[in-house]
Amino acid sequence: MPTPRLELETTAYTLDQLMQNDAPQLALAGRSNVGKSSLVNALAQRRKLAKVSATPGKTRSINYYRVSPWNFFLVDLPGYGYARANHAEREKWGRLLERYLKECTSLKALVLLVDSRLPPQTLDINLVEYAQGLGLPIIPVLTKSDKCRQRELNARISEWTGLAHKRPVVTSAAKRRGMANLWNALLEHMGIADRVSLADGEVADRPRTPKPDAPVRKQAQEPSCRA
Ligand SMILES: Nc1nc2c(ncn2[C@@H]2O[C@H](COP(=O)(O)OP(=O)(O)OP(=O)(O)O)[C@@H](O)[C@H]2O)c(=O)[nH]1
Ligand SMILES: [Mg+2]
């Protein structure tokens, strides 16, 4: 049973920097701060492969991660719906995302990340409709499940199964839960027969030792669980 490995291959900030490579791609899309970069790290069982931040709008580029031993790419997209980005920035990211989804012929599915704590949001539904219009399959993924009760997760599962016509994969990057399920959903979608077996909570690299007098950073406001 192979162990998946992720390596950053290249980064694109503009349309003319989009990677030209025939290998298949799976794109991770979702609202800003939903946990896309954290999920890349959890899938890779690493802590710092992708930059994570409590401040929304951290990922401003398209980051292509090569997945070994299989020859495909996971693509971390800039988050949408970042309220504090100015109009011009939002336009620029929107255009980049739209062109990427429309023109990348190697793109095999949109892995849509949605926060387990929130009912489907307009921007997510718009993206689902846009992708469905392009004939692009959607793999829905619930993030931050550690922040939710089972009752609320069940509600999300049925809402997203209805919208995306596929049962979402429930994950927590923080607790490293659901990573084997997610890998296996991705491999299955790619028509790859291998399956991954990772125990929940499994971490490959060593945790960073906190400095004794490191200042405590203020966290951005997070939605609360209403179940
Ligand atoms: N509790 C919990 N927090 C998480 C989880 N995944 C991500 N976070 C937190 O959510 C915040 C945003 O995570 P990112 O991975 O940077 O989110 P992103 O979608 O890449 O954000 P942008 O790059 O701004 O689009 C960070 O504070 C993470 O620590 C999770 O599974 N559980
Ligand atoms: Mg990010």
Is 198 a member of any domain?
Answer: no
For residue 173, what is the domain's CATH number? 3.40.50.300
Residue 135 structural domain = 5-189
* Position 176 confidence tier, pLDDT thresholds 50, 70, 90: very high
Structural contact between residues 194 and 2, judged by C-beta atoms closer than 8 angstroms: yes
* H or E segment and range at residue 101: helix 87-103
pLDDT digits (tens, 9 = 90+) for 84-143: 667 777 787 788 888 899 999 999 999 999 999 999 999 999 999 999 999 999 999 999
Model confidence, pTM = 0.88
Q: Is residue 9 part of a domain?
A: yes
CA 107 – ligand 2 centroid, Å: 19
State which of 28, 31, 32, 33 you would mutate to test the pocket of ligand 1, scoring each by most atoms of that ligand within 8 A of its C-beta.
Answer: 33
Q: Is 32 in the pocket of ligand 1 (CB under 6 A)?
A: yes
**Residue of 28, 38, 111 best suited for mutating to test ligand 1, as the one with most atoms within 8 Å of CB:** 38
> Using one digit for the tens of pLDDT, what is the confidence trace for 52-83?
888 777 667 899 999 999 999 999 998 887 76
In this structure, is residue 218 part of a structural domain? no
Asked if residue 213 is part of any domain, the answer here is no
177 lines ligand 1 (CB under 6 A): no
For ligand 1, atom 30: residue with the closest CA: 144
Q: Is residue 28 part of a domain?
A: yes
**pLDDT confidence band for 209 (50 / 70 / 90):** low
Q: Tell me if 79 is assigned to some domain.
A: yes
Ligand 2 centroid, distance to 124 Cα (angstroms) = 16
Count the domains in the chain.
1
Instruction: Give the CA distances from residue 38 to residues 35, 45, 49, 153, in Å, rounded to whole numbers and listed in that order.
Output: 5, 10, 9, 20
pLDDT bucket at 155, cuts 50 / 70 / 90: very high
Place of tokens 């790619």: 190
